[in-house]
């Protein structure tokens, strides 16, 4: 990577939409720009260029990306679109959104500084023609180990040097006690409703030594909890010749000085092996938390989705986790209204939800996505019917997750403090992932922990005394690990 700085007066604002994986990608881009002399921040009002890392997952996310690009244009800065929607649509997006000075694909990331300099210099950059990025890598996973294909969030500086001696190509854009660590990118699954593999590419794992080096670097910046992200974390290591690699990596990450909790996310039920369940449930320092992508529970409909499982199999999986860790947390997402869904399918989903005791649930109403198998399937469910089913499931879910939170009253939880504002101390227990789940409000009690002395990054033991919907209210009883003074 070149280190010739651009004009020090040039300022870029990074705006990130979508998932935690995008956040990691943005921080790689921020590091590249910082190394080239750019002033990198997140304030669009004071920037020369606003770089929007877009999301292209579903229609609402795409609309949010467009709205953000248009709002950035109103600041008077040059606006550049990057990320998933830009990769997915390329020239089509550029033609329909003249407010964007450039639309960049993933292949532009290594030269991001030069691309932004060109934009500021008034040059016209041609947007790419999208292609299926799965075709850029070998079909056999183990043949992908030494790929030269650009994979966002995977870049390294000086690959010939041992990972623990290399600079980490990442610049944090937020300073909180939690950070995502990208295990892998891409996906080899062929879910009928999902377009992600086509623009994110085939599955590629990052090497363990790179992950450990980056985790140590993150800990050095004040990070206390690592959230492991990917499109499919249960596939981690299959292209490195060891499908059990995540089970081995978890205790190594948890042992890093300063890290108090490691959280795995994006688990595929069909690939969640007993050994991985045990590692997540029983490894000290690893949150007993199961973020399982069920999507539905009716076996016939799951087959139509090109997925595997059933209500009873999924309940057995949850039971196996809770047998090892009775207080284990679990969350999932579900699609209502997939083509061919019948009333019997919905009733089966309701049976599963009623018995699963999930802590958090996301519900999506189905809509066709460009380039997916499902878009061409017969048996489309009427929009009015989808809405009724969606409203029914959401109402049930709201009731069930609130009940599940109430079940935790009287239990002891370990809470990482996220924020302290105006005397309110908010954090998360082991079953509460950042952004997507509930939180825990810490309140004063008779125990020996001084609430007023708590700071972000402190890790405390607390007794749950109440709930507010899905959120918990708890009294801290013991300091487990105080955040280092910074």
Binding-site entries for [4Fe-4S] cluster: 19, 55, 84, 187, 191, 194
- Centre a 10 Å sphere on the Cβ of residue 66 and count the other Cβ atoms it contains: 19
The residues that bridge with 476 in the sheet, in sequence order, are: 462
**Gyration radius of the chain's alpha carbons:** 23
Which stretch of DSSP H or E encloses residue 14? strand 11-16
Do the beta carbons of residue 15 and residue 70 sit within 8 Å? no
Cα dist from 37 to 9, 46, 299, whole Å: 9, 17, 54
Residue for token pair 């980056």: 214
- Centre a 10 Å sphere on the Cβ of residue 36 and count the other Cβ atoms it contains: 20
Angle at 169 between CA 230 and CA 136, to 5 degrees: 50
Angle at 84 between CA 80 and CA 86, to 5 degrees: 40
Residue 469 CB burial class (10 angstroms; 0-12, 13-18, ≥19): exposed
Tokens of 215: 């985790």
Cα 97 → chain centroid: 27
405: left (phi over 0), alpha (psi -120 to 50) or beta: alpha
- Centre a 10 Å sphere on the Cβ of residue 443 and count the other Cβ atoms it contains: 15
457/415 Cα distance (integer angstroms): 10
List strand residue ranges (DSSP E) for 39-127, in order.
39-41, 49-54, 78-82, 102-103
Do the beta carbons of residue 298 and residue 285 sit within 8 Å? no
How many residues comprise the chain?
A: 486
Do the beta carbons of residue 365 and residue 336 sit within 8 Å? yes
DSSP string, 319-332: HHHHHH-TT-EEEE
Residue for token pair 């020996």: 448
DSSP string, 430-463: TT--TTTS--EEE---SSS--GGG--TT-EEEEE
Cα 55 → chain centroid: 12
Do the beta carbons of residue 332 and residue 294 sit within 8 Å? yes
- Binding site members: 19, 55, 84, 187, 191, 194
* Upper half-sphere CA count for residue 252 (Cβ side, 13 Å): 14
């Amino acid at each position: 990577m070149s280190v010739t700085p651009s004009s020090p007066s040039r300022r870029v604002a990074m705006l990130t939409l979508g998932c935690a994986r995008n956040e990691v990608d943005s921080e790689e881009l921020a590091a590249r720009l910082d190394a080239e002399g750019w002033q990198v921040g997140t304030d669009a009002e004071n920037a020369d260029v606003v770089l929007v890392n877009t999301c292209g997952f579903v229609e609402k996310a795409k609309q949010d990306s467009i709205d953000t690009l248009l709002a950035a244009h109103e600041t008077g800065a040059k606006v550049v679109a990057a990320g998933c929607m830009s990769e997915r649509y390329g020239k089509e997006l550029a033609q329909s959104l003249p407010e964007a000075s450039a639309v960049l694909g993933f292949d532009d990331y290594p030269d991001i500084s030069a691309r932004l300099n060109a934009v500021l210099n008034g040059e016209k950059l041609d947007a790419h023609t999208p292609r299926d990025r799965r075709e850029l890598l070998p079909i056999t996973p183990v043949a992908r180990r030494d790929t030269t294909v650009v994979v966002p969030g995977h870049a390294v500086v000086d690959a010939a040097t041992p990972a623990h001696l290399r600079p980490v190509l990442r610049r944090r854009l937020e300073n909180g006690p939690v950070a995502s660590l990208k295990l892998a990118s891409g996906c080899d699954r062929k879910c009928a409703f999902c377009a992600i593999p086509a623009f994110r590419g085939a599955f590629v794992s990052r090497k363990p030594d790179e992950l450990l080096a980056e985790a140590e670097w993150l800990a050095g910046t004040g990070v206390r909890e690592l959230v492991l992200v990917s499109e499919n974390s249960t596939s981690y290591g299959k292209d490195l010749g060891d499908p059990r690699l995540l089970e081995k990596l978890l205790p190594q990450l948890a042992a890093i000085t300063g890290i108090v909790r490691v959280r795995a996310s994006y688990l595929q039920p069909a690939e969640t092996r007993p050994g991985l369940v045990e590692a997540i449930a029983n490894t000290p320092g690893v949150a007993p938390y199961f973020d399982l992508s069920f999507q539905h529970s009716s076996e016939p409909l799951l087959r139509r989705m090109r997925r595997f499982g059933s209500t009873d199999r999924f309940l057995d999986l949850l039971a196996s986790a809770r047998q090892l860790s009775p207080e284990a947390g679990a969350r999932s997402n579900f699609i209502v209204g997939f083509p061919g869904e019948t009333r019997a399918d919905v009733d089966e989903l309701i049976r599963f939800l009623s018995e699963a005791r999930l802590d958090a649930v996301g519900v999506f109403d189905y809509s066709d996505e460009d380039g997916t198998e499902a878009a061409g399937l017969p048996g489309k469910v009427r929009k009015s019917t989808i809405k009724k089913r969606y409203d029914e499931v959401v109402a049930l879910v709201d009731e069930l997750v609130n009940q599940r939170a109430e079940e935790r009253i009287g239990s002891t939880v370990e809470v990482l403090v996220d924020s302290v504002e105006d005397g309110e101390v908010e954090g998360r227990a082991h079953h509460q992932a950042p952004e997507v789940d509930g939180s825990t409000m810490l309140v004063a009690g008779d125990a020996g922990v001084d609430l007023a002395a708590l700071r972000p990054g402190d890790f405390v033991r607390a007794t749950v005394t109440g709930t507010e919907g899905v959120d918990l209210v708890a009294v801290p009883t013991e300091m487990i690990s105080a955040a280092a003074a910074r």
